[in-house]
Every structure is written in C-alpha cells, then in structure tokens.
Chains A and B, each alone.
Chain A
C-alpha cells in the first residue's frame, strides 16, 4: 500500500512538474511527434516511451508511439515509410541497426522532419541528435563513488566485467581508472584485479569465488554488467561474505540481493524514464527551432534542468542524460516490478 502511495505521489509530482511550465510556455504546442521504438514487449523501452509521451503531451504536442512488428531494421524501415507519408514534425528513434536506416532517415530529414534518436544511435548521417542515457564518464563516476562509499574510503576492490573485448565495459573501466588516479580521495583504494566472467553465470561465479579466495580482505566487487552482478551477488549472499557487490544491474534480477543487510547495498542503471523525458524536450526544442542539434546548442529540459549538445564519439552530436539511477533497499521493490 505504501509503495502504491509513494509511486502515486511520484507520478503526481512528475506530471505536475511537467504540467506547470506547460501552462506558461507549452514548448510543444501544436507539434506532431512520433517515437519509433525497437520492438514491442520491451519493458525497459516502454518506460522511455511512456515518459516521452507524457512529457510531450503535457507540453501540448500530439504523440504517437510506433512499434515495429519485429526488432529488426527492416521492420523499422516499414514504419518509417508510413510516418514520412504523414505530416509528422519529428521522429525520435531507437535504431535496430547503426547503418541500415540511413537512406530512410535521410529521406525523412529531406522532407523536413526532425530526426532525433535515443537509447541506440543510428550513424551520424542518419540523425540530427542522439540522446545518450549513459555517458561513459557519468557511469564511471557513479560506480567509483559507490566503491569509495561502500569500502568506507579505503581497502581492496576488484572489477568483475563481461568479456575482455566488451566495448562498453572497457570504456567504463578505463574511465574508472582515470578517475581513481586523478583524485586524491580515491588514493587509499586498491584495485586488485579486473576479472572477466564473459557474461556467463557459471564463469562469473567461478571468478567471484577466485577473487574471494585470492583476496580475503576484498571489500567490494564492482560488476558493470547485468549477468556478472547477479551471479556475484548470489555467490556473496549464499556464502555470507563480508565483501559487497555494486555495479550495473537489472532491478528485477537484483531484488533478492539488494538492501542494507544484503550482498548489494545499492547499484545503478540508466534512468529510462529520464531518457524518455529528455528525448521529448530535445525533440520539441528542435521542432520549435530552439536548437538545431549542433554541438554547443543549449536548452532547458523542464525539471531535468539545462543541457548542452556535445560532440559524440562517433562524429555526430549527442546530449548526455546524466548520472545513472541508483537502486537501493528503498526503491528496489517498486522498480523490480517494472523491469
């Protein structure tokens, strides 16, 4: 009952938050926006789509969420065809393929439709902007601070990653190492090993066991991968280990292990609702002509605050949502129901 109340209040606050400025300005007044998601039945994506719709409608826009019939680029091309022939002002898309949508999306842009992307970016030529849910530095900073907090400021810690070639994980790990070197407050932390569980439960369990046996004083394992964090959490909790786990995980997978007296005090994942909201404001600002999607553009995204468009690593432009979202003993129950 409490949970329901809390979420009702949260929802209320969010709606209010977005309605209030709408009464004054209504950035999206009269705009017709479409969001193309990856496929139907993805709870994770549904959060972003829901927030997008809610935010844009509160700002006076009409919104259509479009679901391709399959999670493929082909299916997205079909729905894009349809959208281009109608008079939409903008399309926000989560691309099922980096390059395959280029022709269609360029056709859309030629027809005067603004093309923004979120969650999964098409190549720079296929979009005007990308809304990035997980800036490398932001994720690394959150994880580093979690390690600092859980160790109590000093001691041994280890990383349990996916595969040694995983691009995302390696970028985060490198960024974590840089952060650790640059600030003195991390100087008493000792990163003893980066282990690779290959995103397999058995190998991740094996690596966790080896870490504990080899480093009896290990205080924290940081696993920036959903399979790794789950397997390690189960091992640590089953064995009543002193060592704690944090990292990036799925709330529904981590519910059993998250809380102050559990293996995982707290962990992170992107805020998909925030992503939907930011995508809505970004798209509306483009249609309204406030921004063009070029690096250096600045705008206000309602409650989320001010944002600046920056260069993306792939040569296009992007806007980064911010720090990932924390899941802890307080909110895990609620989020585990959602994804």
Chain B
C-alpha cells in the first residue's frame, strides 16, 4: 500500500479545470435574493483537472480497507458482504429522487417498501410491528426502552426505574438505559458465559422495568435459559428487550418473539447486508410484540421515516435471498465461526469451549513468547491484531467483551468461502508461531501498512478534530 495523505485543496492550481459548468439560467434571479443571503465572493472550490481528481480519490480509496477488499472478521459487527444489487435498486430514480416532503399520494412505492419490510421483519423476528425511524442500533435501543417506560407509565406503574443488563452486554445497552433515565443493574454471567439465572432471581421485583439481552450473547453463546429468564422477568412485571446486534445466526431458525422478548431492534447494517462502518449510515428498526403496537411512534408525525435508502437495500437483500435462503445465512455464519474456533484452539486460549453461534472469543495467545522478549513482555492480543494487518486481513474486535483480559473476538459471517477461512487460519497459526519464537515481530507490527501504530494516547488526550495546516508542515 502506498502512503497518500494529500487534500484535494492542496492539488488546486489557479486556472486549472476539469469541468464546464452549464450556462447559469438563473442569473437574473440574483437581484431578488435578499443581500444577506448572497455570497460576497465565489466559493473556494479546488481547481483541478479530471485526472487529478481520479488519481486523488483512487489513491485515497487504496488507503482504505473494506469488505470489498478482504476478509473482515470484526466480532460483534457482522461485516458481511454488501451485495451490489442493493446499490442498483437504491439508485433507481424513482427511489433516489424521492423528497421527504413530497405529498403522500406520490410515494406509494416507498410506502410499499416499508410495508413489505414490516411484514418480512415480523416474519423473521416473531414481532407484531416495527417502526423504521431509528437510524442505528443504539438509537433503536433508546426508542425501545422509551416504549418500555411508556408501557409501564400507561399502566400507572411508575415505580419501575431499574433495568437489568448482563455483564457481557454491548456497552450501548447500559448507555441507552442511562440516557432513558433508567438505573442499570448488572447481572453476572456464570462459568459457562451465560446469564446466571440464580444471580438474576434476587434482582427481580416491583422496581424492575425490564431486562436487556443479546442472544446469542457477546461471547457468541446462545442463552439457552432464555425461556426461564423470560418467565421470571414477566412474572415480576418487567419486559424483555432484545438487542438485535447478534441476530445473524438466528435468521430463519429461532425468533426473539418466540423466546419471550417484547421489544427489540435490528441492525439492518449488520444482519441485512447494508453498508456499515465509516460509510453507513445505519438503520435500527424497532419491533414490538402485539401488546405494545399502539405505543410505536406514529409515522404520520413526520415524513422523515428513518434512513429510507438503507431500509430499501435491506429489503432488496431479503427478497433476493427469499424465505429458504435466509435460513442458510445464519447456518453458514455459525458453521464458519465454529470451524475457525476449533482450528486454532491449540494456539489461542479458548475460555469457553462450547459450540458457538456466529462468533467466539479467544483470550489471547497460549504462548505469548514472554521468555524470548528482552523485557520479558510477551505479545498481547493488540499485537496479534496489528500483525494480522501485515497479511491483508482486517483486525478482529479486541478487548471486548470485558469478561476476558485478552479478548480477541472473531466473526467470519456467511460471506467467506472455505478457502478464505483456511487462509485466515493459516495466517493466525503463523502469527502464533512467530509470537512463541520472537514476540518482537508482533510487538513492532504492522510492518507493511502506510501508517504503523498511530499514537492513540495523544490522539485521545489532545484530539485535533479539524484540518490544520501545521499537520502537513
């Protein structure tokens, strides 16, 4: 990879141009614009030729890594391939020319997409109805928790101010609950990495608004006691919230509605193949069980009904797969994760050996090579992740979940062929062998990327959030 960090403005030269603007047909209107709204000077656009622009953006794109470039095993994020047909559908002029304020009678096609999605997601999740307004997962969590709070309020039960969250939860769960004004109560995991039902029981009572769960959880394990947990929480008067971030392995196999969940969100940008990370934007539709449908936000409030382009892409994905193939996505994702997990457990510590779903967690290297390092420090999970970049793989999720100090979380998704998985396994074995032999190779990695290790500490302590000339000097 070649290093390239120019700004398009740095390429600008007076008099250069790559485009002729059409004749300004509205020049005569200028006088009618109030003076305050007129620009005193022309905007400072970069003056560049076409080849300047093409090379600039091509070079920048090569500094990037995406699922179109290579394997992206980022646990908890479901970085599956984004099929190009999604883009073709979303680019159809009838869709991409829509304006959120145009009269309802003229958007029948878009309404049909929402209705179709509502039906498809209800069938996949076992929920009764969805709102498409939330624009990402955490936004969906907040919406869902507000629905739970409103449910209790309508029953005149205002004592329910606590929400139970497992210690393995995504960080967004307690954060969303806090934003919603609920008090977070943590429930511990047992030795098998699942919610400890016995530890849950004493937490339940008349102050509990509900419990937020991810199933499979962040260790990639299916919460097999979910029926019992649902019965206990319902018995105490609380509701169950399902964090849909890990829905992928369950597609077409198990439904949150059947497990006993009352409210849930889906991440269309994870499970339903829409662009994710950097590019986004996301979409986090919230589904509810029958008894909560009348609390869903009313679409009629606003014509701006979530990120329509994302919902449309996800709908294209579901229709392209069809009912039978949707089931295969989850099964292949589960098979791929178990295949990697079993293939590498002789070089990486596997704290929970049971069958996983779509992802799993190692707890660092078995032999970190500490005895071979001059300072006695072996290679950490961070070093393994950095070394992977040298071999053209995106790094997995590291140091999450917090249950394991050297957590390294891998989620291959159903996207990858067996050959890609085998390549990845071979590289991970090679890295483990390097660590045992000479951990400094890992600790100094990456060796082949345009930037080695950025100074994350200084960046966090003294962030520079906008372009400054001094950076380039």
Q: Do A and B come from one complex?
A: no
| B positions within 8 Å CB-CB of A | none
| A positions within 8 Å CB-CB of B | none
